[in-house]
Amino acid sequence: MVLFPNCKINIGLNITSKRADGYHNIATVFYPINWHDAVEMISLPDNNALSTSPNFTQSGLSIPGKEADNICLKAYQILKKDFPGIPPVKMHLHKTIPTGAGLGGGSANGAFTLLLMNKKFNLNLTAEQLTAYALKLGSDCPFFMINAPCYATGRGEQTESLPLDLSVYSFLIVHPGIHIQTAWAFSKLKPAQPSKPLKSIIQQPVETWSHELVNDFEAPVFREYPQIEEVKKTLYANGALYASLTGSGSAVYGIFSKNKAPELKWGKDYTQKIIQ
């Protein structure tokens, strides 16, 4: 069985306060984007020599860190603990969504692994149960159980559906080949309440967003990596109606009039994705 995890972008991102548990409260809009990885899983015989743990392989873009720490394996182990009857599996992940980019590709991989196992092994988990498992993997993993435009608060796990349809626009996403450490990005911020609520701004025409809709991570990230700020400037110079860093970076997206997203030339370490 194969599923194709998609990524997301953050439309606006405010870090509003520091929590007692060490995390931060945020306000953001998660918006799903048609840029996909692939997760495949097949069952192995119970007497297979690999039965003590999943046989995991990956291809495509490299993933930093130890393979044993991959979020797909963590998702398998979380469900295997509560459902010991799940058989041993062979799992393959093909990556096209860049890591450390603020696109939530890793979170999507973990969430979709849960969805895949629920379907493949007939676990009959409810949406609420799947969301609870997803939260164990990461703060924005529950979003991918909904996978529709959401206003997110708390750590990002508290979501409220939004009637936001941007299908009449095109997107250009640019990843400059830089991996941003989320912990570093948070350490550079001073939480504060925005002057105007994000939910109010998002109801305005897209053409007005550039004046008020802010990602708080842009200031520290652009100071440290001016080449990322240049990406945003380039998108505006080429007709973007709105452009922003997504998450804590390093990917930057531009929203363009339908079928007007340009194919631009970047350095050899850059990746761009056009969604017309």
Residues annotated as part of the active site: 8, 140
DSSP β-bridge partners for residue 95: 60
Edge-to-edge strands of the sheet including 6-18? 6-18, 24-36, 150-153, 158-161
d(C-alpha 103, C-alpha 109), whole Å:
12
Residue 195: cis peptide before it, omega within 30 degrees of 0: no
**Dihedrals phi, psi of 31, to nearest 5 degrees:** -130, 125
Nearest to 5 by CA among 75, 55, 79, 56: 75
**Which letter does DSSP use for residue 88 in this model?**
P
Instruction: Write the burial class of residue 51 (CB in 10 Å: 0-12 exposed, 13-18 middle, 19+ buried).
Output: middle
